[in-house]
Amino acid sequence: MMNGDQMIESQAKNLLSEKEMELINAYWRAANYLSVGQIYLLDNPLLKKALKPEHVKPRLLGHWGTTPGLNFIYVHLNRIIKARDLDMIYIAGPGHGGPALVSNVWLEGTYSEYYPDVSFDEQGMKRLFRQFSFPGGIPSHVAPETPGSIHEGGELGYALSHAYGAVFDNPDLVAACVVGDGEAETGPLATAWHSNKFLNPKRDGAVLPILHLNGYKIANPTVLARISHEELENLMIGYGYKPYFVEGSDPEAMHQKMVATLDSCFDEIRDIQYRARIDGDVERPRWPMIVLRSPKGWTGPKEVDGKKTEDNWRSHQVPFSNVRENPEHLMLLESWMKSYKPEELFTEEGALKAELQELVPEGKRRMGDNPHANGGLLLQKLRMPDFQEYAIDVPKPGSVIAEAPRPMARFLRDIMKRNASAANFRVFGPDETASNRLSALFEETERVWMGEIIPEDDHLSPDGKVMEILSEHTCQGWLEGYLLTGRHGFFSCYEAFIHIIDSMFNQHAKWLKVTNDEIPWRRPIASLNYFLTSHVWRQDHNGFSHQDPGFIDHVVNKKADVIRIYLPPDANTLLSVTDHCLRSRNYINVIVAGKQPAYQWLDMDAAVKHCTSGIGIWEWASNDTDDGDPDVVMACAGDVPTLETLAAVDILRRQIPDLKIRVVNVVDLMTLQPEEEHPHGLKDRHFDDIFTTDKPIIFAYHGYPWLIHRLTYRRTNHKNLHVRGYKEEGTTTTPFDMVVMNDLDRFHLVADVVDRVPRLRQRAAYVKQYVRDRLIDHKEYICKHGQDMPEIQDWKWEW
Amino acid sequence: MMNGDQMIESQAKNLLSEKEMELINAYWRAANYLSVGQIYLLDNPLLKKALKPEHVKPRLLGHWGTTPGLNFIYVHLNRIIKARDLDMIYIAGPGHGGPALVSNVWLEGTYSEYYPDVSFDEQGMKRLFRQFSFPGGIPSHVAPETPGSIHEGGELGYALSHAYGAVFDNPDLVAACVVGDGEAETGPLATAWHSNKFLNPKRDGAVLPILHLNGYKIANPTVLARISHEELENLMIGYGYKPYFVEGSDPEAMHQKMVATLDSCFDEIRDIQYRARIDGDVERPRWPMIVLRSPKGWTGPKEVDGKKTEDNWRSHQVPFSNVRENPEHLMLLESWMKSYKPEELFTEEGALKAELQELVPEGKRRMGDNPHANGGLLLQKLRMPDFQEYAIDVPKPGSVIAEAPRPMARFLRDIMKRNASAANFRVFGPDETASNRLSALFEETERVWMGEIIPEDDHLSPDGKVMEILSEHTCQGWLEGYLLTGRHGFFSCYEAFIHIIDSMFNQHAKWLKVTNDEIPWRRPIASLNYFLTSHVWRQDHNGFSHQDPGFIDHVVNKKADVIRIYLPPDANTLLSVTDHCLRSRNYINVIVAGKQPAYQWLDMDAAVKHCTSGIGIWEWASNDTDDGDPDVVMACAGDVPTLETLAAVDILRRQIPDLKIRVVNVVDLMTLQPEEEHPHGLKDRHFDDIFTTDKPIIFAYHGYPWLIHRLTYRRTNHKNLHVRGYKEEGTTTTPFDMVVMNDLDRFHLVADVVDRVPRLRQRAAYVKQYVRDRLIDHKEYICKHGQDMPEIQDWKWEW
């Protein structure tokens, strides 16, 4: 039997002429030379002088192992881009091979256009070398600083999901995605292969995965490099691909194989797209992918100090150090660099020789200058209907019960509709769109599904714009890829399980921070919007394992200028917040709101006003309005805490009519921080006006209580702040019992007030007996009936 | 061609006699009956009376869809356990099918042994039904409360890694692991299939994965249920398994197929183990696995209200509600439950009929009573050498430079050695054991590797005890499985990327919390020990993407009685802390320490004393010892902050000799919390003795500064606390520049002191000019030389 590999080999004979071969190999040598130079050299970039210790960096940092393979791929992609006028971006999963991407972007001239100081000559080459992994310079991995990149080489695992995200709704784009064999062991990468079940060749572009087997991770072989050829082939077929193998170490043979393979792959991609777009074929195709097996540290020193180095884990980072001190190492470095014959590659002035420049694609076809990799350039505003048209009618606070996400879902549906022709908006989630009450979306679009569809299926279609896979990692990766290439998105998720992507959030937040601070040429992109629902307080049948509101805490540790957190208390505020988030740029917005039927508080006018301020006194619930001198401030953030606070106020106003209460609701959590720490932070004077400078504050908060202390720590009245929130007590129980277990319920809040208002001391015993009795009633009732007391479920509001 | 499925089918003819078939099917009906009862009924458990609305729960919660499949598997595993006297545990990936496991554990009698109130009779059955998803009862998913479980049905994705973790070093154990097809889409599960490359059939037990395709998630079909048979077969072969398919819906045919398939699988497992153990065959075998394709909600109502329900996503949770209010639904429920013919299954008194009890394995062979699933029962103390023997000699603070993990690694090596025969200790990490300076382990053991091994490989062996895969998820899952079955482990990881398992940490912490609080029969297990290194302050070549110390914050949100956090400042304290952690039970211990060469401060005696207190005044660095009345307290937690604090003290003592400084170091972060909040919290009086009640405190902390405020918030002197830490500023730069970027360096600390000690006001201008000059020197030097100034790298300590 002839496998794909052998077939290609037989076809590959003499595909490149001798001259073409020579040129392509020279270009590769140039990229390798520049890569080694970045890792090692401070000066003498063209080795015009004999190499001396002072030309070498004192600290040697970087990853050589993967770099020549990345260079090899880059030059071959350049060839096919030119040959077929392709619109392509390069995603480098082994992103710590930063020197490769930087070298290539410099060789194609893009780097000097973005960074004129790093010019396309000897002086620029010297800067290019020096800045790499050098204070004030550039990171050693692919980073936001790298033109042409949408994928940071930090944490591993997200290359493929980023690639797919980039090509959704970009029919002419190809994302060539190099997957490192280390990265391939991560969970997120292992499942991202299945993204091909969600890519529609008719309207989406193509991903060409290139699994780069160079055999070793830091110190270990990789799993995929040490399974049999047959198993690996089966695995890729099982993932739904048609694998091509390019394996070897002889450059000439490898160039020929790579040319033939890429030609075959792009023939197939063209055929697949033709069948889908012209013939209307809707079957999921078997997309090509490449397994490139090449030596780790290819073309590097075979041996260092008598130990095997090329094709070994010793090549992973810097293959040898101590170059300044060890003359043998210095000689080894010089001979290694000279083995690339720089004099054949660069002009006397340090530019790439003209015949090699011929290999570079034109203008925006250069992968370093592809506008898709600087998505803000392509970003179009969403066409948005007026969110106020989706308002729920709330004649009086607490008079209406509704599921907050439903009006928002209708708003999203119409955004989807208005932007259908722009094809730049998608909604993502791990199979929870319907569960999260967003089904209105299905009036306009469907769930994307390229697999078999049977009649009982619910809103599946190859043309859908709702992306659902039971992998938060994949949803996040797709969305990031979609946003970074200049589109818009919305991610809904169970609150507890968004922690699954904590680390991905970190990486994206760091990307945005660096972009904001340091990279003016990266144009702002649409914000990443999370809608977290099925939250901690309503896990009636899922229980303790689904109860965790800590994502907010995780987010707050990141830079204030990239994060925003909203806790809309009802449907109309949720609409207003959603509108705001979808219009924003370069943020990560976190919106937390429940999906269960709940009381509605604000009509649309009040909601807009409230959300514009982000925080406000709810006068209709307060009774300190005569003289503005309350006995207590009852603050709340989050829908369930708002309900409990208002019910506590209701009790107090009935039981102690002369108690003056001010009710404060917080939608935009960051208003609590000082203005120096967050752009949304209230001025101290304004904060003091709201919270007083000396009255007790009982703050009912959605999440872990400490966060409120953290945010308000520098505020005048912080000493009188008492916060209730989730204290990690929970199980499968009734909604009201959950708040009782965490002392966040109306009765505990009443007791908190009575404890803290000095003039109530005499009445405290009476009120607290009332509270105890109610809590006993509650426990008895739920243990008997398994549900909350009717009077709790249907509270009779007295205003 | 005859596929595996057809071969089994042909062999399967008449494998069960008619009588056997009847019995096994009756047992399955019993389990299904009890499962429906748990979801729906409050009373009338045996349906002796006509079903009335008041017999039905008012809140219907639970997941029916996966349950009959889980029951089907359970009864068949019982058969083969009995037939072959197997030692087996059941891991239910689709753990929200809790009713299945609870039903089966009750049927085998175990449940009533663990919970005598839920007796093996009608009264007990009533309790069994009522308690399910009921306040004060049990969660709706498999949970710590479920006998026989080591795997909570909360977050999805970890079933397979738990199963492998359970069987490592348990040669006679089989973990039957049901993988839901929803769960199979998660990243962690997708890569956990590769665990077979790390399982040695000679010394480890076996995992039998059963991929349960029931077609739907919440509302969507599943990816694996909608790819072709061929692709799925390829995928499983690619993962290294031999797949067997059991597909259909007719119970009789399915019983026969399942019997034949399980017989084949266990024949193969026996053969594999025989070859490895008797013949000495060391090749990685191709382990069997089963694809079970059965209808979602199998045996449930075909239709509800005219809509397809069996074999549909509508069966996912409760297939129909409104039973109390809707008489048709009430009738439907009654006829559904009666379709199982309870009168044939249970005695008049409500026990399982004697002939069906015959199908239950004996005693500890019952999966609900298998001691491996209550690992604390089997836990043996580690045999530990005296950690003090590994001490580094530190004649004087700051006189020795060492890499802190190396002595700890020698300690771990000898623990490995002493417990080799017990085979109950393993070390886990994502390919970072050597990078994290733990190579001493390789003097005693190797990395586990069942793949091909070539001569240049570094310490690979099928017999290794160091588990490395580039998947933090898999490492964590293996370790949890290993610990929950009563063994010990140690997980080393880059600090930033431990966030990858934030959510897994949550689930394990919640498991421990529930176990501690509510489940006395679950015996304490060894703690989960994290060693986090390559930390935020030393990412010289990785940069900003690798800088995140926030895992500590994440951990602190969990219950105080299960979490411990240690920041040993040097090698000897790290040894002492490690010893303590490895002896502890039912905690999650987080140890954070750098791996780079660093000054050593404490000799072993001082280290032991310091770690025993967890916090202490370092008198040798302080100069307030005469009268114990300092001008300032300089506190630190973490190795780099300790270095910077001591250097700042050094500067201050030289520049302002009359300034009285007290140096406090914190190893055990939880000592800072009040004693009411954490068992390690200092008494207030003790805290005040250390930190004074009125002097400025400059606290240099490893992580995000806010945490120190949070922990000390209620302390007397909190108002004078000023914390420096990581503020999300970083890049690829020198070690010292990293602290400068975050204002944590010695010079900023000096300025902080001068700013806060009132009597220094007159000298402030002079000192601050000195600080500014030094910082300018530093920036100039690193921009020119690319490394830190020699005087910073080699500080001359003046004590």
The pLDDT of residue B282 is 86
Coil/strand/helix, residue B493: strand
Chain A partners of B709 at a C-beta cutoff of 8 Å? 709-710, 713
In the sheet that A447-448 helps form, which strands lie side by side, from edge to edge?
A: A460-461, A447-448, A466-468, A425-429, A488-494, A528-533, A588-592, A563-566
- State the pLDDT at residue A218: 81
pLDDT at A610 (0 to 100)? 98
Q: Tell me which of 3.60.20.10, 1.10.1740.10, 3.40.190.10, 3.40.50.970 is the CATH number of domain A398-598.
A: 3.40.50.970
Phi-psi region of B586 (alpha: psi -120 to 50; beta: other; left: phi over 0): left
A108-139 CB burial, b ≥16 within 10 A, e <16: bbbbbbbbeebbbbbebbbbbbbbbbbbebbb
Question: CB of A544 within 8 A of CB of B517?
Answer: no
Q: Which of B155, B433, B786 sits opposite A58 (nearest CB)?
A: B786
Candidate from A187, A237, A542 with C-beta closest to B188: A187
Return the structure tokens found at B337. 């439950």
Residues in chain A: 799
CA distances from B167 to A412, A677, B200, B477 (A): 48, 51, 10, 12
Q: Which residue of A has its CA nearest to B181?
A: A470
Inter-chain CB proximity B502 and A734 less than 8 Å: no
Considering only CA atoms, which of B693, B698, B682 is closest in space to residue B716? Answer: B693
User: Is residue B40 over pLDDT 70?
Assistant: yes
> What pLDDT does residue A313 have?
86
pLDDT surpassing 70 at residue B11: no
- The per-residue b/e assignment along A6-24, b for 16 or more CB within 10 angstroms, e otherwise, is eebbeebeebbeeeebebb
Note the CATH number of domain A11-372.
3.40.50.970
> B136: which 2 tokens?
């004060």
Across the interface, of A238, A545, A546, the residue whose CB is closest to B235 is A238
| DSSP H or E stretch at residue B528 | strand B528-533
Domain residue spans of chain A: 11-372, 398-598, 614-793
Taking an 8 Å cut-off on Cβ atoms, the answer to whether A190 and B185 are in contact is no
> Which pair of structure tokens corresponds to residue B766?
């002079």
DSSP bridge partners of A211: A179, A291
Q: Which two tokens stand for residue A69?
A: 């393979």
Q: Do B235 and A231 touch (CB under 8 A)?
A: no
Which pair of tokens denotes residue A457? 């299926």
Q: Under the phi-then-psi rule, with left for phi > 0, alpha for psi from -120 to 50, and beta for the rest, what region is B665?
A: beta
Residue among B75, B76, B15 at smallest CA distance from B345: B75
To test the contact with chain A by mutation, choose from B506, B539, B739 the residue with the greatest count of A C-beta atoms within 10 A, namely B506
For A533, list phi and psi in degrees, rounded to 5: -135, -165
CB B618 within 8 A of CB B664: yes
Closest approach of B624 to chain A, Cα-based (Å): 31
Is the model's pLDDT at B279 over the cut of 50? yes
B148 within 8 A of B90, measured Cβ to Cβ:
yes
Q: Do A190 and B186 touch (CB under 8 A)?
A: no
Question: Per the structure block, which two tokens stand in for A595?
Answer: 């999906």
pLDDT at B71: 98
State the average pLDDT over residues B240-256. 97
d(CA A515, CA A522): 6
- CB-based contacts of B543, cutoff 8 Å, min separation 6: A139, A140, A141, A143, A154, B730, B731, B732, B733
Q: How far is CA B491 from CA B6, B204, B287, B470, B539, in A?
A: 44, 20, 27, 13, 20
Residues of B in contact with A458 (CB under 8 A): 219-220, 313
* Nearest-CA distance A645 → chain B (Å): 24
The parts of chain A modelled with pLDDT lower than 50 are 1-2, 4, 10, 12
Name every residue whose Cβ is closer than 8 Å to that of residue B649 and which is 6 or more positions away in sequence: B621, B622, B634, B661, B663
CA A375, B499, A637: angle at the middle one, nearest 5?
80
Q: Which residues touch B587 (CB under 8 Å, ≥6 apart)? A: B512, B527, B528, B562, B563, B564, B581
Residue among B184, B294, B291 at smallest CA distance from B245: B291
* For range B61-80, the mean pLDDT: 96
Q: What is the pLDDT of residue A96?
A: 86
Q: What's the distance, CA A396 to chain centroid?
A: 40
**DSSP H helical ranges for A205-326:** 229-238, 251-277
- Contact predicate A328/A303, CB 8 Å: no
Are the Cβ atoms of A786 and B191 closer than 8 angstroms?
no
Among candidate residues B213, B288, B210, the one with its CA nearest the CA of residue B248:
B213
* Chain A residue numbers touching B317 (CB-CB < 8 A): 541
On whether the CB atoms of residues A492 and A453 are closer than 8 A, the answer is: no
Largest interatomic CA distance in chain B? 100
Inter-chain touch A545–B143, beta carbons under 8 Å: yes
Written as one string, the DSSP assignment of B21-33 is HHHHHHHHHHHHH
Phi, psi of A774 (to 5 degrees): -65, -40
Looking at the predicted structure, is the pLDDT value of residue B14 above 60? no
CATH number for the region B614-793 comes to 3.40.50.920
Which residues of chain A are within 8 Å of residue B187 when distances are taken between CB atoms?
157, 186-192, 471, 473-474
Listed in sequence order, the residues at least 6 apart from B557 whose beta carbon sits closer than 8 Å to its beta carbon are A548, A550, A553, A704, A706, A728
A508: nearest CA in chain B?
A: B545
Is there a contact between A510 and B545 if contact means CB atoms under 8 Å apart? yes
A320: left (phi over 0), alpha (psi -120 to 50) or beta: beta
Report the pLDDT averaged over residues B727-737.
93
Closest-CA distance of chain B to residue A152, Å: 8
Residue at B667: amino acid letter? V
List Cβ neighbours of B652 (8 Å cut-off, separation of 6 or more): B659, B661, B750, B753
Burial environment of residue B423 by CB neighbours within 10 A (0 to 12, 13 to 18, 19 or more): middle
In this chain, the answer to whether the domains covering A11-372 and A398-598 adopt an identical fold is yes
- Interface contact flag, B191 A192, Cβ < 8 Å: no
Q: Six-digit token pair at B479?
A: 């370790």
Residue in B222, B219, B215, B228 with CA at minimum distance from that of residue B189: B222
If you average pLDDT over residues B287-294, what whole number do you get? 98
- Percent of the residues in chain A that have a pLDDT greater than 90, as a whole number: 89
Dihedral sign (CA A649, A653, A659, A661): positive
Q: Are A137 and A38 in contact (CB under 8 A)?
A: no
Q: Quickly state the pLDDT bin for B153 (edges 50, 70, 90).
A: confident
Q: What is the dihedral of CA B396, B400, B404, B406, to 10 degrees?
A: -120
B759 and B631 Cβ atoms separated by less than 8 Å: yes
Residues of B with Cβ-Cβ distance to A541 under 8 angstroms: 61-62, 133, 140, 317
What is residue A5's predicted lDDT score, i.e. its pLDDT? Answer: 52
Angle at A101 between CA A100 and CA A104, to 5 degrees: 85
Contacts of B83 (CB under 8 A, 6+ apart): none
Asked if B187's CB is within 8 angstroms of A191's CB, the reply is: yes
The predicted pLDDT at position A95 comes to 79
Q: What confidence score (pLDDT) does residue B1 get?
A: 38
Which among B135, B232, B469 has CB closest to A782?
Answer: B135
How far apart, in whole angstroms, are the C-alpha atoms of residue A726 and residue B323? 33
Non-local CB neighbours of B257 within 8 Å, separated by 6+ positions: B8, B9, B12, B246, B247, B248
For the four alpha carbons of A15, A20, A21 and A25, in that order, the dihedral sign comes to: negative
| Sign of the CA dihedral running B435, B436, B440, B441 | negative
Return the structure tokens found at B320: 């129909």
Mean pLDDT of B31-56: 97
